[in-house]
């Protein structure tokens, strides 16, 4: 048995009952269940429809996300989340670079790396080198002045906790940012790279080994082993090419507002909803939210 979920942006055009029931009828699904009126609904399916992606494309034009997944085991016990452009709306290294006067150059490298066009470690090393000499205090300025949180993040983490879940923030960015973001959102632990500092200034180097795609997979494996879980118990979310390893390994890998080349490799794609979409995908109703 499968579950088809239809999810809208809570701040955008509402999910219409007719759209849900028409699709349900066309696919021979079960009764529609509204998890949040106007935002999220779901219904059972005996099999994955052959025209899933054709319908998905049409719904994208209406600002609606469609996800189909196995019904069994969809409520997960661990959240593994990327940080930049996932739990927050920015790429921290781009914001640091902008303050260093090399924003355009670094932003271009970041975009190519996240799209899978460049080796992540080499791209990170190149970008960090351009930050050499920047005062360490600029990190606090970026956090205070430039970082915004993706809607639904605190609710996502709090609800996972309320139902016995564990939350891990894992980033190819920097611990100076993940520590603050993890504390704000309520994550149980965080893992990232360390920017090296000397005499109050960034050295332009990052501590080794560099945490990239393989390290995110390792973080999933280590956390699940420690907690007595398996990869099937994990819902992972990310947007970049370095997230694909963990997204493919997790029981549910969600590409959230992801780069097109990344989203195309994931079955669960959220392009319009916010982070509460990860709760609807697990079958939680808005009345369950913490």
Q: What pLDDT is attached to residue 230?
A: 98
Whether 85 and 184 share a structural domain:
yes
Whether 154 and 252 share a structural domain:
yes
Whether 104 and 25 share a structural domain:
no
Whether 33 and 113 share a structural domain:
no
Whether 237 and 151 share a structural domain:
yes
CATH of residue 103's domain is: 3.40.50.1000
Q: What pLDDT is attached to residue 212?
A: 76
Whether 65 and 155 share a structural domain:
no
CATH of residue 6's domain is: 3.30.70
At residue 210, the 3 state secondary structure works out as coil
Whether 140 and 280 share a structural domain:
yes
Assessment of whether the complete model's pTM goes beyond 0.85: yes
Whether 128 and 268 share a structural domain:
yes
Domain closes at, from 49, 72, 95: 72
CA dihedral 253, 255, 260, 261 (to 10 degrees): -30
Give the residue numbers annotated as catalytic, written as ranges: 82, 84
Whether 125 and 2 share a structural domain:
no
Question: What string of H, E and C letters represents the secondary structure of 25-42?
Answer: HHHCCCCCEEEECCCEEE
Whether 92 and 62 share a structural domain:
no
- Residue 235, sorted as left (phi over 0), alpha (psi -120 to 50) or beta, turns out to be beta
Q: What is the pLDDT along the chain (290 residues), one digit of tens a residue?
A: 999 999 999 999 999 999 999 999 999 999 999 999 999 999 999 999 999 999 999 999 999 999 999 999 999 999 999 999 999 999 999 999 888 888 888 888 878 877 778 788 888 888 898 899 999 999 999 999 999 999 999 999 999 999 999 999 999 999 999 999 999 999 999 999 999 999 999 999 999 988 878 889 999 999 999 999 999 999 999 999 999 999 999 999 999 999 888 999 999 999 999 999 999 999 999 999 99
Whether 286 and 162 share a structural domain:
yes
Could you give the CA distance from residue 103 to residue 85 in angstroms, rounded to a whole number?
A: 16
**Segment (H or E) for 226:** helix 213-227
Number of domain units in the chain: 2
- Which has the closest alpha carbon to 235: 286, 185, 279? 279
Whether 25 and 131 share a structural domain:
no
Domain closes at, from 24, 44, 72: 72
Domain closes at, from 72, 92, 107: 72
With contact defined as beta carbons under 8 Å apart, do 153 and 279 qualify?
no
- Domain with 8, as residue range(s), is 1-72
């Amino acid at each position: 048995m499968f579950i088809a979920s239809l999810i809208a942006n809570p701040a955008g055009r509402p999910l219409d009952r007719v759209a849900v029931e028409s699709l349900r009828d066309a696919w021979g699904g079960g009764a529609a269940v509204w998890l949040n009126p106007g935002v999220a609904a779901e219904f059972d399916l005996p099999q994955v429809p052959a025209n899933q992606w054709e319908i998905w494309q049409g719904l994208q034009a209406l600002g609606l996300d469609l996800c189909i997944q196995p019904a069994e085991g969809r409520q997960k016990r661990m959240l593994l989340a990327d940080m930049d452009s996932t739990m927050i709306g920015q790429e921290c290294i781009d914001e640091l670079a902008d303050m260093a006067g090399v924003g355009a150059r670094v932003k271009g490298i970041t975009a190519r790396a996240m799209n899978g066009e460049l080796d992540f470690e080499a791209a990170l090393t190149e970008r960090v080198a351009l930050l050499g000499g920047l005062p360490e205090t600029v990190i606090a300025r970026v956090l205070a002045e430039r970082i915004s949180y993706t809607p639904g993040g605190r609710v996502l983490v709090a609800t996972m906790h309320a139902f016995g879940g564990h939350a891990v923030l894992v980033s190819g960015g920097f611990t100076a940012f993940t520590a603050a973001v993890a504390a704000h959102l309520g994550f149980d632990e965080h893992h990232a790279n360390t920017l090296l500092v000397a005499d109050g200034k960034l050295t332009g180097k990052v501590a080794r080994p560099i945490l990239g795609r393989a390290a995110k997979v390792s973080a999933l494996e280590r956390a699940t082993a420690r907690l007595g879980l398996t990869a099937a118990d994990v819902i992972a979310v990310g947007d970049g090419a370095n997230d694909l390893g963990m997204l493919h390994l997790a029981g549910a890998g969600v590409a959230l507002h992801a780069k097109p080349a990344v989203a195309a490799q994931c079955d669960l794609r959220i392009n319009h909803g916010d982070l509460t979409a990860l709760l609807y995908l697990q079958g939680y109703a808005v009345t369950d939210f913490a």
